[in-house]
A and B are shown apart, each in its own frame.
Chain A
Amino acid sequence: MTRSLNRSSATGALLALPLLVFLIAAVAWPLASLAGHALSGPGWGAVRQVLAAGRYRTALVNSLGLSAAAAFCSVLLAVGPAWILARERFPGRDALRTAISLPLTFSGVLVGFLMVVLMGRIGVIPEILGVLTGRRIFEGAAYTVAGLFVAYLYFELPRAVMTLESAFRRFPRELDLAARTLGAGPLQRLLRVGLPLAAPALRSTLAVTFSASMGSFGVALILSRRFTVAPLEVYTEMTGYLNDEVAGALALMLAFSTMAVDRLLSMGKR
């Protein structure tokens, strides 16, 4: 027994080795180098610069706000479709699931261009509405904050649906049936059975969509006019000014704030 346990843990270590090497090479080392750059100035000057009132802090606050809004709305909108995909059987379900997951394969830049094609100055939507109503509604909407938000929803919604669906599939149906047998009404069943069961899944879906939005770069690169987000500022500091210190500090703050929110969301999960 002991021998086989030893062997299996040795196999486990061997199997974990590639992941370990990967984590060191692709996470720990770059993060350390980033921290090195960020903290290299006298008195952590770059970090202070980022946290002082101004463009960098605005970018961080914008990123947090936009990502939180996109995560919240995408989860809210995803609950229904995810429940149906997980629980109902109907023709074309697999095709629908594939269609919903399609946007996940698009890069941010592509989503940005899609928005321009739909709601740019000569976007499809203003063209059609112009013919129908005589007013070119949504002309140039792609370049507004609302346009940016819609683009974020576009790639976060499928992520939310997919994540929630797999959670909903694992729900034991018996609990719901038992509650019904014991005389609980629909609202009571939702509040006392459905929601407590779904809470961890909702929280982790919020975390997944929030993190993805925080790191998203391409959409804002194409669409943002004035409104800025943190990854965009990191890019500009690097390429426009060769400012490793501020770029590093900003990236570090971005990573920490994302991890902090994720941690908060996963608290009390068990």
Chain B
Amino acid sequence: MRKTILVLSLLALSSTLAALAADDKVVIQYDCIPNYANWGGVAALYKKVAGVTVPPDPKGSSVALAALEKEKDAPQADTAYYSGAIGFLAAEKGLHEPYKPKGWEKIPAALKDPAGRWWTVHTSAIAFVVNTKALGGAPVPRSWADLLKPVYKGKIAYDDPTWGGTSFTLVYGVNELFGGNDKNFKPGLEYLKKLDANVSSYPRESVYNGVLRGEIPIWINADGNGYKMKWVDNGPVEVVLPAEGTFTMPLVMGLVKGAPHKEEAKKYLDWLLTAPAQAEFARGYFLPVVAGSLPVEVASHVLPAKEYKRARALDLARMAAASDVLKKAWTEQIRGTGR
């Protein structure tokens, strides 16, 4: 009996090792969340076309940056995906090595680092993701000013900006929209303080399902997540680009300095800019960075281009430089003293 167990476990062990050896083609990407920007679909497609595995990874932008910083002397990841300012910061900290993937020229100049330390793979815009069935009779809000109305009390949430890059973009952008800049956060924080009266929570985890269920009727987040709720998950969801204006958010990547699978990573990063990969991102409703790769059915699902004229780009360098100060100020003034 004991012998049988021994033989069986040896067999199991050797088959596991064999599977690992056969599957040695792998690219490690920090922040590869399957239901964010359709990374699950993109990774599955890459496995099919190239036979290379890109395992899912649950880190958000900030956590990915923290991990790369910790592993600087013995890098474990080949590439990482971030919201723009955080990726910019990673490049500034010297965590990336310059690389210009094939198709580089197709990326607009404002959406890449001239030296190749980061580049955009797709973009998104900050929007109100509204679960219309959960509003309790209140009208769909159309503007930042609407959100302050008492009818939305307890119905609004946006992620903690110390956790998510999307929300950091929101907090930074609102400040610019209301007349602040990277040195003066007062206008934005004043607005957010007023908004706080209507906010039910500042999540530090993905609340995608909570919005879909109606626990959170209004979520200020990336437009693409709202479109996906509406068209893929058939939720009673409307995406609103606020009347006063909103902000675009480039989502960027870079080649990690000292990447353990550098050659495979380069091939993967090249592939991410090809038409099929860009179209796959678009199926998660994140806008392809390469013009002309938006599938027709996806184009018909999103708001018309004239609505997006209200979305302005933010300066990533200034955002990155302001990140710690603004996050601290937000924590102290909006989340409060902790009592």
Contacts and interface: CB of A to CB of B under 8 A. Distances in A.
**A and B assemble together:** yes
Interface of A: 54-55, 58-59, 62, 109, 116, 120-122, 139-140, 143, 221-222, 225-228, 233, 236, 238-242
A222 B205 contact: yes
B327 interface: yes
Contact of A116 (B60, B210, B332, B338): B210
B44 interface: no
A120 B155 CA distance: 11
Given A238-B66, A241-B327, A227 B163 contact: no
A226 B213 contact: no
A241 B215 contact: no
Contact of A225 (B155, B163, B201, B327): B201
Q: How large is the interface on B (under 10, 10 to 19, 20 to 34, 35 or more residues)?
A: 20 to 34
Contacts of A241: 162, 324, 327-328
Given A58-B337, A62-B339, A121 B205 contact: no
A240 B339 CA distance: 20
Contacts of A59: 338
Given A62-B338, A241-B162, A55 B331 contact: yes
A226 B205 contact: no
Closest 3 CB pairs of A and B: A240-B162, A228-B338, A58-B338
B62 interface: yes
B152 to A, nearest CB: 12
Given A221-B204, A226-B336, 8 more contacts: A55-B337, A109-B205, A121-B216, A222-B205, A225-B202, A226-B337, A236-B162, A242-B66
B34 interface: no
A116 B339 contact: no
B65 interface: yes
B201 A226 contact: no
Given A109-B205, A222-B205, A143 B200 contact: yes
A89 B216 CA distance: 47
B339 A221 contact: no
Contacts of A228: 335, 338
A55 B66 contact: no
B33 interface: no
B276 interface: no
B134 interface: yes
A122 B134 contact: yes
B69 interface: yes
Most buried by B among A54, A116, A121, A242: A121
B339 A121 contact: no
Contacts of A62: 338-339
B322 interface: no
Contact of A242 (B69, B217, B331, B337): B69
Contacts of B327: 240-241
Contacts of B63: 239
24 contacts: A54-B337, A55-B331, A55-B337, A55-B338, A58-B337, A62-B338, A120-B215, A121-B155, A122-B214, A140-B154, A143-B200, A143-B201, A221-B204, A226-B339, A227-B338, A227-B339, A228-B335, A236-B162, A236-B163, A238-B66, A240-B162, A240-B163, A241-B327, A242-B66
Contacts of B134: 122
A19 B214 CA distance: 49
Nearest to B69: A242
Given A239-B163, A242-B65, A58 B205 contact: no
B215 A58 contact: no
Contacts of B202: 225
A55 B330 CA distance: 13
A121 B200 contact: yes
Given A222-B205, A239-B163, A240-B327, A122 B215 contact: yes
